[in-house]
Amino acid sequence: MAEPNQPHHSTERLDSTERLASTERLASTERLASTERLASTERLARSRRQIEEQHAALDRLQVDVQLALDDGAPRGIEDSLRALAGAVEAHFELEEHAYYPDPARLAPEPGSELRALEGEHEQLRAELDDLREALEQEDVPALRAAFSIFATALAEHEAREEKLMARLAERD
């Protein structure tokens, strides 16, 4: 029979085994979380580069619209405006469904900024509708005014978006 002051070896082994298993589970969980953070950070960096590239492409399309407006050729205005509107819509869809969700998972606090940016998408879509309406009415002065408003709002939106993405990337 074991003495009361002497440790019971089977209990010590069990406690040691449980501690080891618990430590291994914790280490495994930490490795998994670290791997997920790294993957999310890499996706965020890739998304940031893609967003910046798309913004540059949208800027070039805006130049095309401005040049067409300066020329005053209805067909050129219509073609360049359609190209811009299609690219803007595709860009917004990609941001809303592919880019924005990842930063929200990575760092929850920018959620309100992301929602505000998505809200701006709706406003910019409405401004695109104004452009289309002015185009249908062949009202070039209204079209120029609406395009000026749209271009300014889009540039400000892009700057806020890129600033947020840069801030999120710096945190990692």
**Cα–Cα separations (whole angstroms), residue 81 to 60, 65, 77, 92, 161:** 12, 6, 6, 16, 23
Residue 65 is predicted with a pLDDT of 95
Residue 102 to residue 44: CA distance in whole angstroms: 7
Q: Confirm if 150 and 124 have CB atoms less than 8 A apart.
A: yes
Spell out the domains of the chain, with CATH numbers in brackets.
9-170 (1.20.120.290)
Residue 157 is predicted with a pLDDT of 94
Residue 27 is predicted with a pLDDT of 60
Residue 170 is predicted with a pLDDT of 74
Residue 101 is predicted with a pLDDT of 60
Structure tokens at 109: 């606090």
Tens digit of pLDDT at every position of the chain (172 positions): 555 555 555 556 656 667 666 666 666 566 555 555 556 667 777 877 888 899 999 999 999 999 999 998 889 999 999 999 999 999 998 888 877 665 555 555 667 788 888 899 999 999 999 999 999 998 889 999 999 999 999 999 999 988 888 887 776 5
Residue 162 is predicted with a pLDDT of 87
For the range 142-151, what are the long-range contacts, defined as Cβ-Cβ under 8 Å and sequence gap of 24 or more?
143/69, 143/77, 144/69, 147/65, 147/66, 147/69, 150/124, 151/62, 151/66
